[in-house]
Structure 1
Amino acid sequence: MALLEMAGVRKSFGRNVVLRDVDLVVEPGQCVVLIGASGSGKSTLLRCANLLEVVDDGRITFEGEDITDPRVDADAVRARMGLVFQAYNLFPHLSVVGNLTLALVKVHGVGRDEAEERSLAMLDRVGLREKATARPDDLSGGQQQRVAIARALVAQPALMLLDEVTSALDPELVGEVLDLLGELKAEGVTMLLNTHEMGFAREVADTVCFLHDGVIHERGTPAEVLGAPREERTRTFLARLRT
């Protein structure tokens, strides 16, 4: 059974149609990478998967449950996913470890001692244990993004959604975040993400989907989509990236 499945998903903002009849499947343990120009619908697709946006039509199934059913508890669904934004969205008034423990205690009902133990272990996992008592403003952009990823992971989500997590970083900091995502993939973490980092997509993705004007025009393995694209729109997009 697929972990996440979208069928005929449509989303508009006023007269602007952002997603058009999108079909997408994410299997457990897979890394599915969305590529496409800005405005192609990638971020909206992630927000629909997390129920931050309500779809106009179509169905999204997560862990066998139709989460587009209006009777579904959206907060309960989001608690089983981890969402990481490009702008980190850390709480500046909390310490690094406080950022990780907050949702564990308030949303997942974990005791404070256990929450701190799990959070420190996760910070150790992402190489930031020594920054546990620091505030986010004391960290580099790459460190902040690794904390944001750790915060999403510490709740042990079934699915990680990552929205352009390197786009706000200085070029020299991109590698440390992509290295972490590669490690997570190797550990079997299921990820759906969008990125402009084609090298990362080529190395880590199981499936690459090219979006244009809210439509998935091409999908396949990295070798197929990035190495030998069939569609002219895909070839044009990739050629622009390489110039």
Structure 2
Amino acid sequence: MSLLTIEGLWKNYHGHNVLRGIDLTVEAHEVVCLIGASGSGKSTLLRCVNLLETADDGTIHLDGEEITDVRADADGVRKRMGIVFQAFNLFPHMTVLDNITLAPRKVHKVGREQAEAQARDLLARFGLAAKAGSYPDQLSGGQQQRAAIIRAMATQPRLMLLDEVTSALDPELVTEVLGVIRELKEGGMTMILTTHEMGFCREIADTVCFLDGGVLLERGTPEQIFSNPGRPRTREFLQSVIDARRL
């Protein structure tokens, strides 16, 4: 049984179909990269998976449970996922340690001592041990994004959703955040991520999905998509990315 199964997913905003019949399966420990131009539906797809948006049609199953069923416990579903956006969304009045332990303590009812011990282990693992008592505005952008990823990891999610987590960063800070994602993959974390970092996508993904106009137009291994895409529109998009890099 696949960890996540999406079938015939549609989402409409103000008469415009943002997602059009998306079918996608994600296996445990698989890393799926969503690529495509801005407005292609990548972020909306992640938000539908996390139930931050309500699908207009189609189904999503997580561990065999239909989470798009109106009777599904949305908060319970979200407890099994971690989601990180391009904006860090750390609470500015709380220390890094308190940001990370908030959900485990308040949502998952983990004791403070255990939650803090787990948080400190994660901070040490990802090079932020010395920042536990710092506030978000005392961190660099890369450190804030790493802290946001650690916060999502602290609830031990079944699935991580990462939405353009490097796009708000200066180029020199991108590498440290990508290093965190690389380590999550090595640890077997199941992830769906949207990214414009094609080189990193090629390195880390098990499956690459190209979205265009709300349609999952093509999917395959990184080698298939980047070396021999089957659709002209995929080739056109990838060439536009290459041309943009040359400017």
Q: Distance between the aligned counterparts of 1:162 and 1:60, measured in 2? A: 18
Calculate the TM-score normalised by the size of structure 2. Answer: 0.98
Q: Tell me the CA shift for residue 16 of structure 1.
A: 1.1
Q: Specify the alignment match of 1:74 in structure 2.
A: 74
Superposition map of 1:90-109 within 5 A = 90-109=90-109
Q: Distance between the aligned counterparts of 2:228 and 2:153, measured in 1? A: 34
Q: Distance between the aligned counterparts of 2:12 and 2:88, measured in 1? A: 26
Q: Distance between the aligned counterparts of 1:231 and 1:79, measured in 2? A: 37
Q: Tell me the CA shift for residue 187 of structure 1.
A: 1.0
Q: In the alignment, residue 17 of structure 1 is paired with which amino acid?
A: N
Secondary structure class of the residue paired with 2:203: helix
Superposition map of 1:229-240 within 5 A = 229-240=229-240
Q: Tell me the CA shift for residue 83 of structure 1.
A: 0.3
Q: Specify the alignment match of 2:193 in structure 1.
A: 193
Q: Tell me the CA shift for residue 58 of structure 1.
A: 0.3
Q: In the alignment, residue 173 of structure 1 is paired with which amino acid?
A: L
Superposition map of 1:37-186 within 5 A = 37-186=37-186
Q: Distance between the aligned counterparts of 1:181 and 1:106, measured in 2? A: 26
Q: Distance between the aligned counterparts of 2:183 and 2:154, measured in 1? A: 15
Q: Specify the alignment match of 2:25 in structure 1.
A: 25
Secondary structure class of the residue paired with 1:173: helix
Calculate the TM-score normalised by the size of structure 1. Answer: 0.99
Q: Distance between the aligned counterparts of 1:60 and 1:133, measured in 2? A: 39
Q: Distance between the aligned counterparts of 2:74 and 2:162, measured in 1? A: 19
Q: Tell me the CA shift for residue 131 of structure 1.
A: 0.2
Q: Tell me the CA shift for residue 92 of structure 1.
A: 0.4
Q: Distance between the aligned counterparts of 2:5 and 2:213, measured in 1? A: 20
Q: Distance between the aligned counterparts of 1:221 and 1:150, measured in 2? A: 28
Q: Specify the alignment match of 1:222 in structure 2.
A: 222
Secondary structure class of the residue paired with 1:22: strand
Q: Tell me the CA shift for residue 62 of structure 1.
A: 0.3
**Structure 1 alignment gaps of length 5 or more:** none
Q: Specify the alignment match of 1:211 in structure 2.
A: 211
Secondary structure class of the residue paired with 2:86: coil
Q: Tell me the CA shift for residue 94 of structure 1.
A: 0.2
Q: Tell me the CA shift for residue 46 of structure 1.
A: 0.1
Secondary structure class of the residue paired with 1:203: helix
Q: Percent identity?
A: 61
Q: Tell me the CA shift for residue 175 of structure 1.
A: 0.6
Secondary structure class of the residue paired with 1:52: coil
Secondary structure class of the residue paired with 1:166: coil
**Structure 2 alignment gaps of length 5 or more:** none
Q: Tell me the CA shift for residue 18 of structure 1.
A: 0.3
Q: Tell me the CA shift for residue 183 of structure 1.
A: 1.1
Q: Tell me the CA shift for residue 14 of structure 1.
A: 1.4
- Check if 1:202 corresponds to 2:202: yes
Runs of 4 or more consecutive aligned structure 1 residues displaced over 6 Å after TM superposition: none
Q: Distance between the aligned counterparts of 1:123 and 1:40, measured in 2? A: 34
Secondary structure class of the residue paired with 1:93: coil
Q: Distance between the aligned counterparts of 1:172 and 1:219, measured in 2? A: 30
Number of aligned residue pairs: give it.
243
Q: Tell me the CA shift for residue 157 of structure 1.
A: 0.2
Q: Tell me the CA shift for residue 142 of structure 1.
A: 0.5
